[in-house]
Amino acid sequence: MLGKKMKEMGHHQRMVTAMELLEVEWYRSLKEALIGLEKNTFASLHYRISMVLFAIAGVFLSQVLPFFTLFSQDHIALSAANILLLAIVYTLIIKRMTAFSPLPFLLFPITALVFIYSIIRASFLTFKEAASYGGEQSTV
Nearest to 67 by CA among 48, 43, 86, 44: 86
Q: Would you tell me the crossing angle of helices 108-132 and 30-44 to the nearest 10 degrees?
A: 60
Give domain limits for the chain: 25-132
DSSP state, 106? G
Question: What phi-psi label fits residue 100: left (phi over 0), alpha (psi between -120 and 50 degrees) or beta?
Answer: beta
Q: Which of 29-38, 47-56, 59-68, 117-126 has the lowest mean pLDDT?
A: 29-38
Rounded Cα–Cα distance for residues 120 and 127 (Å): 11
Taking the CA atoms of 136, 53, 60 and 44 in sequence, report the sign of the dihedral they define: negative
Cβ atoms 66, 82 nearer than 8 A: yes
Question: pTM here?
Answer: 0.74
Tens digits of residue pLDDT in 9-53: 999 877 777 777 777 788 889 889 888 888 888 888 888 999 999
Residue 113 pLDDT: 95
Q: Is the pLDDT of residue 90 over 90?
A: yes
